[in-house]
Amino acid sequence: MLQLTPQSRIFVALQAVDFRKGIDGLTAVCRQALGENPLGGAVYVFRNRAGTTLKLLVYDGQGFWLCTKRLSQGRFQWWPTAPTPSVRLSARELTILLWNGYPARAQMAPEWRQIA
């Protein structure tokens, strides 16, 4: 089972990906474009060119999970931008993204704060 915990490492590939690629093609994108090892247990998030579908790729120690979310109407409204090939998200930011929300506008409390 795929679980998102606060400790999950989540990388969002900023460039659109050809979704004819399967697990092998997406692991190659992880290695070549993102410079990451897909066997490291991180969650990798990819978007198609139209912005209607997301794919999540995760290795759980025994094999790969490939999850797809395709919107029935419209496009994903928010997508990060940066000069790097990927951006890190927290688990709760990914959850908001999967529900087609804006993580930056969610006004969530900080994930960690020192207790006085």
**Rounded mean pLDDT, 41-65:** 95
Q: What is the CA radius of gyration of the chain?
A: 14
Alpha-carbon distance 7 to 15, whole Å? 25
Residues whose CB is less than 8 angstroms from the CB of residue 100 and which lie 6 or more positions away in sequence, other chains included: 71, 74, 76, 77, 78
CB count in 10 Å sphere of residue 96: 18
pLDDT, tens digit, for every residue of 33-47? 999 999 999 999 999
Q: How confident is the model at residue 56 (pLDDT cuts 50, 70, 90)?
A: very high
Alpha-carbon distance 97 to 65, whole Å? 19
Q: Any idea which of 3-7, 27-31, 65-69, 105-109 has the lowest mean pLDDT?
A: 105-109
Instruction: Indicate the domain borders of the chain.
Output: 10-105
Q: What's the confidence (pLDDT) of residue 116?
A: 73
Q: In the structure encoding, which two tokens stand for residue 51, read together?
A: 């912005």
Q: In the structure encoding, which two tokens stand for residue 3, read together?
A: 């679980």
DSSP codes of every residue in 14-72: -S---TT--HHHHHHHHHHTS---GGGS-EEEEE-TTSSEEEEEEE-SSSEEEEEEE-S
Alpha-carbon distance 16 to 103, whole Å? 19
Q: How confident is the model at residue 105 (pLDDT cuts 50, 70, 90)?
A: confident
Q: What's the confidence (pLDDT) of residue 107?
A: 67
